[in-house]
């Protein structure tokens, strides 16, 4: 029975941006400690229902926040993210916090010590609230985790739906107002997929734009950390601040831009609602003066052969073959079965796959001489029911398609961002589950991808967030 007596404090970002929250800190209108305390109160109330966090340390978080307030009072300003509370995916090491990698198998030694990304966030004055749930070893797109738990998609209080993975908890935390933003990782879609299914924004960065030390090495070839935020405006601030980017360029105008509308295999197996929303956004772009040209990239189908070879080989390499074989039966069956594929990969096959990966990077880069960006649905489906997505469930095979449209971006070495478009559907009751538009740009064109998403946001309005009070 839902408890109407519970008083859920308002999301500190309700109606304002991260930048505006930072201004409140600097103007003395609110303290970082107060905002951090509010997030922890929301976590205490909502996390038992949503399971976004696997670990929090309120005592240390408030001590850190108090220290940030003292720095503000002394005139120290570390930049736009100073005092902003952030959640970290539990495959990233954070000092004095456990790292489980979403597994019952001890593997924190593989992840290593706190890495450059987390250290940089701390140096910018971010307050780390805790660690968020992940698919085991980040190897899965559904968000399901048999042993550590599966976060609940906040858009349906009655049915446990896929949160998307592997950065499942990070996306749920942001969508539910349990963090100002979160860090995820993306090897085959693990930032974009949960962002899409939770109705928020997720950026897959170009390889090497953000460091990967101190992060579980699922695939050193393909791993890319990235931010998950409520909207494109916040995403821009996070990305530019982290990269010390001074963006003095004028805002992107969609008028006159040329978008490549990806066809097969990106349009196969689409839910009717996903297909409708995608066609609507393409039509709106044309009305704004953008050029839309259909494009087929047959090499995208190579994800099916390259991804299991590269990722399978590299996760086994991370463990060491003997250690992997000894522990694989303790893994989530879905994770374990995917990882075991790497045992059958020869050195020759791996080298050839790596070679082809580099060739595909060159092939893909040529498209951006003609197109400003490529677009597709982020996921082919909306969030499926968890019970129907598990092994043996009636929708299990369909759930495995969650990464169908995102994996090629990793294989091609590109960057991409997922932007919510479900509000485009004629839905008077606001019951439509989230749908994401994937905007793909060339290598190291991350800023451009973010700017395109922001231009869409300025035109369509900021994404709506779920009403999490319904869970109480």
- Is 7 part of a structural domain of the chain? no
Above pLDDT 90, what percent of the chain? Answer: 94
pLDDT of 4 higher than 60: no
Check residue 426 and give its pLDDT.
76
At residue 3, does pLDDT exceed 90?
Answer: no
**Alpha-carbon distance values, 244 to 17, 237, 241, 287 (Å):** 19, 10, 5, 35
What is the model's pLDDT at position 249? 66
**Tokens encoding 370:** 């003609």
- Asked, for residue 13, whether it belongs to a domain, the answer is no
For 125-162, the pLDDT digits (tens) are 999 999 999 999 999 999 999 999 999 999 999 999 99
Instruction: Check residue 428 and give its pLDDT.
Output: 54
* Three state DSSP letters for the chain: CCCCCCCCCCCCCCCCCHHHHHHHHHCCCCCHHHHHHHHHHHHHHHHHHHCCEEEECHHHHHHHHHHHHHHHHCCCCCCCCCCCEEEEECCECCCCCCCCCCCCCCCHHHHCCCCHHHHHHHHCCCEEEEEECCCHHHCCCCCCCCCCCCCCCCCCCCCCECCCCCCHHHHHHHHCCCCCEEEEEECCCCCHHHHHHCCCEEEECCCCCCCCCCECCCCCCCCEEEEEECCHHHHHHHHHHHCCCCCCCCCCCCCCCEEEEECCCCCCCCCHHHHHHHHHHHHHHHHCCCEEEEECCHHHHHHHHHHHHHHHHHHHHHHCHHHHHHHHHHCCHHHHHHHHHHHHCCHHHHHHHHHHHHHHHHHHHHHHHCCCEEEEECCCCCCCEHHHHCCCCCCHHHHHHHHCCCHHHHHCCCEEEEEECHHHCCCCCCCCCCCEEEEEECCCCHHHHHHHHHHHHHHHCCCCCCCHHHHC
Query: Residue 435: how many CB atoms within 10 A of its CB?
Result: 29
Residue 3 lies in a domain: no
% of the chain residues with pLDDT over 70 = 97
Structural domains of the chain, count: 1
Mean pLDDT, range 274-296, rounded to an integer = 97
Measured distance CA(38)–CA(33) in Å, rounded: 9
Q: What is the pLDDT of residues 12-30, one digit of tens each?
A: 999 999 999 999 999 999 9
| pLDDT number for residue 382 | 97
Full strand arrangement of the beta sheet holding 85-89:
53-56, 127-132, 85-89, 181-186, 224-229, 201-204, 415-420, 436-441, 373-377, 258-262, 291-295
- Taking each helix axis from N to C end, the angle separating 446-460 and 272-287, rounded to the nearest 10 degrees, works out to 90
Q: For residue 5, what pLDDT is reported?
A: 74
- Distance CA(87)–CA(118), nearest Å, equals 11
Give the CATH number of the domain where residue 189 resides: 3.90.1300.10
What pTM, to 2 d.p., does this model score?
A: 0.97
Would the pLDDT of 77 be above 50?
yes
Q: Are 74 and 116 in contact (CB under 8 A)?
A: no
* Cα–Cα distance for residue pair 169/283, rounded to 1 Å: 33
What's the pLDDT tens digit per position in 152-194? 999 999 999 999 999 999 999 999 999 999 999 999 999 999 9
Residue 390 lies in a domain: yes
8 Å CB contact between 255 and 289: yes
Q: What is the pLDDT of residues 27-50, one digit of tens each?
A: 999 999 999 999 999 999 999 999
User: Quick check: is 1 in a domain?
Assistant: no
Q: Answer yes or no: is pLDDT of 1 > 50.
A: no
| CB atoms near residue 401 (< 10 Å) | 18
**Is 356 contained in some domain?**
yes
Decide: 53 and 27 in contact? Cβ < 8 Å.
no
- Please tell me the distance from the alpha carbon of residue 335 to that of residue 191, in angstroms, as a whole number: 18
> Would residue 9 count as lying in a domain?
no
For 380-393, the pLDDT digits (tens) are 999 999 999 998 89
What is the residue range of 154's domain?
18-471
User: Which tokens is 23 given?
Assistant: 């201004």
Beta strands 436-441 and 415-420 are antiparallel
pLDDT at 245: 78
Spatial distance between the Cα atoms of 184 and 170, rounded to a whole number of angstroms? 6
Q: What is the pLDDT of residue 85?
A: 98
pLDDT score for 2: 58
- Integer angstrom CA distances of residue 284 from 233, 405, 423, 449: 20, 22, 13, 18
Confidence of residue 250 (pLDDT cuts 50, 70, 90): confident
Residue 366 has pLDDT above 60, yes or no: yes
Active site residues: 89, 166, 190
Residue 6 lies in a domain: no
């Amino acid at each position: 029975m839902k408890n109407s007596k519970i008083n859920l404090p308002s999301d500190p970002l309700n109606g304002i941006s991260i930048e505006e929250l930072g201004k409140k800190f600097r103007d003395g209108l609110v303290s970082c400690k107060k905002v951090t305390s509010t997030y922890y109160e929301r976590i205490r109330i909502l996390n038992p229902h949503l399971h976004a966090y696997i670990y929090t340390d309120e005592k240390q978080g408030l001590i850190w926040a108090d220290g940030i307030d003292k720095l503000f009072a002394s005139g120290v300003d570390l930049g736009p993210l100073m005092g902003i509370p952030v959640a970290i995916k539990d495959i990233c090491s954070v000092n004095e916090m456990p790292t489980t990698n979403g597994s019952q198998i001890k593997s924190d030694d593989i992840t290593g010590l706190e890495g450059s990304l987390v250290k940089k966030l701390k140096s910018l004055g971010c307050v780390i609230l805790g660690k968020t749930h992940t698919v085991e070893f980040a190897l899965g797109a559904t968000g399901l985790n048999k042993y550590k738990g599966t976060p609940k998609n906040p858009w349906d209080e009655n049915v446990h739906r896929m949160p998307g993975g592997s950065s499942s908890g990070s996306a749920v935390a942001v969508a539910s107002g349990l963090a100002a933003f979160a860090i995820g990782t993306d090897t085959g879609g693990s930032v974009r997929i949960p962002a899409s299914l939770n109705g928020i924004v997720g950026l897959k960065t170009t390889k090497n734009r953000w460091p990967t030390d101190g992060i579980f090495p699922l695939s050193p070839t393909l791993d890319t950390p990235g931010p998950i935020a409520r909207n494109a405006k916040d995403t821009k601030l996070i990305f530019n601040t982290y990269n010390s980017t001074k963006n003095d360029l004028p805002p992107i105008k969609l008028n006159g831009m040329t978008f490549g509308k990806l066809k097969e295999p990106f349009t196969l197996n689409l839910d009717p609602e996903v297909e409708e929303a995608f066609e609507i956004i393409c039509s709106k772009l044309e009305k704004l003066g953008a050029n839309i040209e259909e494009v087929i990239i047959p090499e995208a189908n190579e994800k099916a052969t390259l991804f299991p070879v590269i990722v399978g080989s590299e996760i086994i390499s991370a463990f060491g073959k003997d250690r992997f074989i000894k522990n694989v039966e303790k893994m989530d069956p879905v994770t374990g079965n995917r990882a075991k594929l790497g045992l059958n990969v020869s050195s020759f096959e791996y080298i050839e796959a790596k070679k082809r990966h580099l060739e595909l990077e060159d092939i893909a880069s040529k498209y951006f001489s003609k197109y400003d960006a490529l677009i597709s649905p982020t996921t082919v489906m909306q969030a499926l029911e968890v019970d129907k997505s598990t092994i043996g469930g009636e929708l299990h095979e369909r759930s495995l398609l969650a990464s169908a449209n995102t994996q090629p971006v990793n294989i091609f070495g590109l960057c991409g961002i997922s932007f919510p478009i479900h509000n485009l559907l004629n839905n008077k009751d606001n019951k439509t589950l989230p749908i994401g538009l994937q905007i793909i740009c060339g290598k190291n064109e991350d800023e451009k991808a973010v700017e395109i998403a922001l231009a869409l946001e300025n035109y369509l309005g900021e994404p709506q967030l779920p009403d999490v009070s319904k869970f109480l």
